[in-house]
Amino acid sequence: MTQTKGTLYKGREGMWSWVGHRITGVGIFFFLLVHVLDTSLVRVSPEAYDAVIGAYKNPIMIMGEIGLVGAIVFHAFNGLRIILVDFWSKGTRYHKQMLWAVMGLWVIVMIGFTARHVMLFLDGWGGF
Amino acid sequence: MTTTDSVALPTQGIEAPRSKRIDPKYLRRSSSSSSSFEMAGWVFMRVSGAALVVLIFVHLFVNLMVGEGIHGVDFGFVAGKWANPVWQFWDLTMLWLAMLHGGNGMRTIINDYAEKDSTRVWLKSILTLSVAVIIVLGTLVIFTFEPCMVDNTGQLLDSAPAFCQNV
């Protein structure tokens, strides 16, 4: 049997996935408050909604959107991993491998999302 | 090494788990309402989380990855989506599940880091109020949305989406 040095949890995959889940969760929560408020402007007037939603269509916000979607995709895949750890009989044995799967899927999805989002943005962008 | 060593093992290292040394306050109390609330919360986080993966991934794909992408999102786009009851129901479900899931997550974080009782009460009061306001506001917006707005004289607003001309 191999001896594990130090601790099983602190500083290892289990802890870092937990830290990542917390930070992305808090970020998504605060975006959600803002997002419901900006969408609510459809009840004020079309101009008010279009003016505020227009703020999402510049290069700095595009980077912010990629960051936001990155947080959502990590939180989503790692959340599914947590469900498997809890309910799949072999979940605790393979929790590390599942974290690498989460990271791999995250990279694939984010390459696809970023490429498509930037391409569509540049297509319709009128410049500064 | 004799067999009596294994009997004495707990005193040499850590005891085996569940060896009746757990403080009773950490044991599950089936009669306690707070433990059943936390159990319901634990189940809710997993059920709502799985649903939100589908709801939000489709939301992001439909709004950002097809057509003109982010440039296609404007008042007319929202009006077109909410003309369909399926998208109204989709966004309503997403709103409630996301706010309750996020609110419960924030509650957990407050419980973890706010050590003073008064700080916890304050933060959780602000959290509860914010979640309630956002859920009520969002729900009202979805159900009272009027795509073809008119001014005081009953004239259609210039900025109303094109399909309002045919109504």
Taking the domains of chain B in order of start, what are their residue ranges? 31-149
Q: DSSP 3-state assignment of B32?
A: coil
CA distance to A16, A32, A82, B124, per residue, from A19 (Å): 5, 20, 13, 21
- A43 to chain B, any CB pair closer than 8 A? The answer is yes
Which chain B residues have a beta carbon less than 8 Å from that of A22?
109
CA distance to A34, B77, B146, per residue, from B94 (Å): 15, 18, 21
Which chain B residues have a beta carbon less than 8 Å from that of A76?
49, 52-53, 56-57
Are B35 and A84 spatial neighbours (Cβ–Cβ below 8 Å)? no
Query: For residue range A29-66, what is the model confidence (pLDDT) as tens digits?
Result: 999 999 999 999 999 988 999 999 998 888 999 999 99
Task: Determine the pLDDT at residue A88.
Answer: 92
Which chain A residues have a beta carbon less than 8 Å from that of B109?
22, 26
Task: Determine the pLDDT at residue A55.
Answer: 87
- B86 to chain A, any CB pair closer than 8 A? The answer is no
Note whether B69 contacts A121, CB cutoff 8 Å.
yes
Residue A46 to chain B, least CA–CA distance (Å): 5
Which B residues 28-57 touch A at CB under 8 Å?
46, 49-50, 52-53, 56-57
Residue B7 to chain A, least CA–CA distance (Å): 22
Does CATH number 1.20.1300 belong to domain A16-124? yes
* Residue spans of chain B under pLDDT 50: 1-6, 8
Note whether A124 contacts B68, CB cutoff 8 Å.
yes
Residue B150 β-bridge partners: B156
Does CATH number 3.40.50.10320 belong to domain B31-149? no
Query: For residue range A2-32, what is the model confidence (pLDDT) as tens digits?
Result: 555 667 777 788 899 999 999 999 999 999 9
